[in-house]
Each structure stands twice: as C-alpha cells, then as structure tokens.
Amino acid sequence: MATVTALRLYGREQIQLDRIEPVPCQADEVRLRIAYCGICGSDIHEYLSTPIFAPASGKANPWTKVSLPVVMGHEFSGTIVEVGSKVTDLRAGQEVCVNPSLDDRHYTLPDCSRCSEGKPNICKRWATYGLNAVGGGFADEIVVKHFNCLPLPQGVSLKLGALAEPLAVAWHSIRTSNFKKGQTALVLGAGPIGLAILLLLRTWGAGKVIITEVTEQRSKQAKQFGADMVVNPLEKAKGGDGQEQDPVLEAVHSFSEDGVDVTFDATGLQSTLNTGLAAVRPGGVFFNVAIHEKPLLLNLNDVFILEKKILGGICYTREDFEQVLKAMASGEIPFEDMITAVVPLSDVVSGGFRELMNNKAKHVKILIQPGNGA
C-alpha cells in the first residue's frame, strides 16, 4: 500500500510533513480520502505553546495510548473510500464531514454518566482526532469510527463540510448559553470563532448583535458578516461628563440600558472579561469560548447581586453538527465567505501555519487541501 503524507507535531515549534504507513480499517471504521482540513487557532496554540491537548513529550494519552508525534488537523471533510465489514450506515463514495471527538464508545467501554446524558464532549475520556488520537486531517487519508461521520446533505460541498467543525463549536456555545430568538448579544473578538458565532446568531433570529475587534480587516469582515455594530475597544470615547468611557459599554447602552442578554467571549483577556461581564444585563449570561493563557480576576459580586451567569462550553456533540449542516443546506448564510485561502498540503507549514501566524487579521479560515500537489 502506498504511504500517506501527513503533517505531524513532534513538540513545541516542531511540525513536519512525513510519509507514514496507512493504518488498517477495522470492522466499525471507514477510511476517508481527505478533501479539506481547516487550520484552527488551537492548532497554532499547540504548535507554539505548551500543548493543552497533544500528549506531553514522552507521555501517552491515557485513553488513546497515542504519543508524539501526532498527525494534526481536526476540521475536515472527505470522501469514503473503504468501509469496515460491520458498517451499514455509510457507503464508499459518500461525502462526509467528521465530528473528531472520541469518547467511551471508541474504547468499547460502557457510557459514563456524562456520555449517558448526551454530553460526550465532557466525557473524562474525551480525545480528538488531529491532536491526541490516531490520525488527523492534515493528511491524504484517515481511518475513523463510522459514528464520527456525518454525510453532507444536498447543497453542502466538501469545502463547506470542512467548516462544520468550527461552526459546531459556535453552535454549541449559542445552544448552551440558552440564547433565545430575539435576544441581544455582544461578541468579543472577530476571529474565526467570534465570526462563526456572529453568522450563526442570524440563524437563531438574534436581535441586535455587537462585535468587538481591534484590527481593521476583521472589523470589515464582521460588518460584512452582518454585525449591527462593530466596536474597537481601544478607541476610548469621551462621555457627556468628559470622562473616558468604555466604547464597548457605550455601544451596548446606546440600544439597551440594561445591557445585552448574552456576551460571548472569544478572546479570553482580563479586559474582555471585565467589559463582557459589565455589558450583560442583570440575570444575563457571560459565555466563555476562549482558551485562557492565565487565570483572571473576577468580582463574584456580579454573580451574587445581579445574578449574572458565567458559563463556558467546549466543542460540540453530534447534534451541533447536524444543526450546522441543516443551516448550511438552507443556503441562507454565506458560510463559504469564511474561507480566505486554500493551500495544498505540500505547503501546509509556510502557506498554512506561518501565513496564519504572520497575517492573522487577513484570514478567517485557511483550508488545507491534501492530494493537490502534495
């Protein structure tokens, strides 16, 4: 069998394209020829910093037994090229996107309490293809469990399919924040997740949506993606009393004295926590969807006196993917505008990772395309 080209993480700031042996396709698995795989902010984080998800050097993931080097990439779509002998719900030639999460089912263990209540994303044995399990999306192919695959509905291309994962993160955040139709939102940061939340809030029938962003390019994107207001939090405004005002709070209070129903923090700074929590109405929700570099200071009197709620959410469940695919199939929202570059796998390091690090504001989502000049 021919070897597989795959991008592997060896440790801090060490990634390279390798030729590796294909893995066998077990009875309950399918083999995909990968079409597209998006680069995620967490891929950059795992590459540049001390890994949060990838196994530490010399250590194996306790559940998947995988150790470095690991194949990266967890936002992918592809075409099924081989079907395990016991798989009945999928067939060769089908186009699918993948929920890359692993849970008890992957280790043939009985469901834990979290998995039983439909929350495998917080299973203590959670892992993910592309960071700490066998195989990832920055490769010619991958073998995954059949129940990780979601067939792409009519009208959803393989390119759009690769966006299902980041959009599922956004969908999960909106869903678990208990956001209701007609409510107002503040989104902190117009990066890929902030913009994905903005796009999907339209699907949810949101009232006003304000988004904050410091770069001009991303502010423009946020406007194009339908934000009612885009505010630069660094542009201090003078209030009526001559005092400097927080421009984000000014904007929020310009249409609602009480504040927004939900703040989504996709930035994760002390300043975004302060502003985001202050912008929430009494009884409203501050929802964290950012990875934090360090602990922050928090005055819990906001939670106590004003009954504001602080929630967070990780990843997604299959339900979130299904809802995102439905939204994509409706064709109402131009999700493809999130794609700012398509780069062949052979150029993943410089054209993908380095490009994203050096020109962050220029990009929402860079898709890597295996099998194209690789």
How far apart CA 241 and CA 153 sit, in angstroms, is 56
Q: Find, among 194, 3, 40, 193, the residue nearest to 128 by Cα.
A: 40
23, two tokens: 């893995």
Distance of closest approach, residue 125 Cβ to Zn ion, in angstroms:
6
Distance of closest approach, residue 121 Cβ to Zn ion, in angstroms:
10
Cite the DSSP H helix spans in 41-132: 41-48, 113-116
Distance of closest approach, residue 103 Cβ to Zn ion, in angstroms:
5
Distance of closest approach, residue 92 Cβ to Zn ion, in angstroms:
31
- In this structure, are strands 29-38 and 141-145 parallel, antiparallel, or unpaired? antiparallel
Place of tokens 């902190």: 188
104/261 with CB nearer Zn ion: 104
Which residues bind to Zn ion, rule: CB under 5 A? 103-104, 112, 115, 123
The sign of the torsion formed by the CA atoms of 203, 251, 312, 181 equals negative
How many degrees, rounded to 5, is the angle at CA 260 between CA 255 and CA 266? Answer: 120
Asked whether the beta carbons of 140 and 166 are under 8 A apart, the reply is no
120/233 with CB nearer Zn ion: 120
112/306 with CB nearer Zn ion: 112
Q: Name the residue number minimizing CB distance to Zn ion.
A: 123
101/183 with CB nearer Zn ion: 101
Distance of closest approach, residue 62 Cβ to Zn ion, in angstroms:
13
How far apart CA 121 and CA 130 sit, in angstroms, is 16
40/115 with CB nearer Zn ion: 115
Distance of closest approach, residue 109 Cβ to Zn ion, in angstroms:
8
109/357 with CB nearer Zn ion: 109
121, two tokens: 């994303």
Asked whether the beta carbons of 284 and 308 are under 8 A apart, the reply is yes
